[in-house]
Chains A and B, each alone.
Chain A
Amino acid sequence: MVKFLKPNKAVIVLQGRFAGRKAVIVRSFDEGTRDRPYGHCLVAGISKYPKKVIRKDSAKKTAKKSRVKAFLKLVNYNHIMPTRYTLDVDLKDIVTLDSLQSRDKKVVACKETKARLEERFKTGKNRWFFTKLRF
């Protein structure tokens, strides 16, 4: 009886090109909209996970391995598996419905999301979110 599909909830995308990837809900539309008359949400997720860094790696290699590629998507609730984890990253100002309208706006938003996710990864918090789901 508690609503759990709220912003900052970590979810796993189940269908589509990004199936199996972890994402975080930025904005949820429980009642749907005119274009999408079903419950859906705007998620920002990881398209390419950062690779495993070992002690032997040089600083240049660490930097290269810690890169993250992000994606933004509007996903149906049926195509998402919610988890008990949350990710407290402030993406509300960059990731908006408006940023999905055109290609270059989306690229700009993705780049900014990538930067924020990378800095969160480097602090070492939310380790679960940045590890690839093995299946």
Chain B
Amino acid sequence: MVVSKKTKKTQESINNRLALVMKSGKYTLGYKTVLRSLRGSKGKLIIIANNCPPLRKSEIEYYAMLAKVGVHHFNGNNVDLGTACGKYFRVCCLSIIDPGDSDIIKSIPGDQ
């Protein structure tokens, strides 16, 4: 099984796109609000950190499957994801509700 090596470039580009969403779009951080956004069919893309507990990860993926929403597994842990969002706390999962000026929805779910 060949694991595609995520190059520095794509990781940077995800971080850039995420930064743009933080600045110009709408998002929610955290497990409870991610589920709420999925239930209300508001979420457009879900990003999960790589050290998310597997049960919680499966649950979010199942909800996203029911809602037909893409899930992106972030290449970094919750500390990194929090930093990528520009926050000083850990973020395990986040939901993008409105991407604003960013093209993260169009470009990212392709490389899940």
Asked if residues B67 and A2 are in contact (CB atoms below 8 Å), the reply is yes
User: Which of B16-24, B37-45, B84-92 is near enough to bind chain A?
Assistant: B37-45
A24 CB-CB contact with B under 8 Å: no
The CA of A4 and the CA of B65, in the complex, are separated in Å by 10
Asked if residues B69 and A5 are in contact (CB atoms below 8 Å), the reply is no
**Which residue of chain A is the closest to B70 with respect to CB atoms?**
A1
If over half of A's interface residues share one DSSP class (helix, strand or loop), that class is named, otherwise mixed; here it is loop
Q: Which of A3, A77, A78 sits near B41, CB closer than 8 Å?
A: A3
Q: State which size class the interface on B falls in.
A: 10 to 19
A71 CB to closest chain B CB (Å) equals: 22
A84 CB-CB contact with B under 8 Å: yes
Q: Which of A33-58 contact B (CB under 8 A)?
A: 39
B95 CB to closest chain A CB (Å) equals: 11
Contacts of B59 in A (CB 8 A): 81
Asked if residues B40 and A39 are in contact (CB atoms below 8 Å), the reply is yes
Question: Which of B32, B35, B36, B39 has the most chain A CB atoms inside 10 A of its CB?
Answer: B39
A90 CB-CB contact with B under 8 Å: no
**Which residue of chain B is the closest to A31 with respect to CB atoms?**
B40
A82 CB-CB contact with B under 8 Å: yes
A30 CB-CB contact with B under 8 Å: yes
What number of A-B contacts does a CB cutoff of 8 Å give? 30
Asked if residues B43 and A84 are in contact (CB atoms below 8 Å), the reply is no
**Which residue of chain A is the closest to B38 with respect to CB atoms?**
A4
Asked if residues A1 and B39 are in contact (CB atoms below 8 Å), the reply is no
Contacts of A30 in B (CB 8 A): 40
Asked if residues B40 and A1 are in contact (CB atoms below 8 Å), the reply is no
Asked if residues B39 and A77 are in contact (CB atoms below 8 Å), the reply is yes
A84 CB to closest chain B CB (Å) equals: 6
Contacts of A1 in B (CB 8 A): 41, 43-44, 67-69
**Which residue of chain A is the closest to B59 with respect to CB atoms?**
A81
B2 CB-CB contact with A under 8 Å: no
Asked if residues A2 and B66 are in contact (CB atoms below 8 Å), the reply is yes
Contacts of B69 in A (CB 8 A): 1
A1-B41, A78-B32 are known contacts; what are 6 more A-B pairs with Cβ within 8 Å?
A1-B43, A3-B41, A4-B66, A78-B35, A82-B66, A84-B66
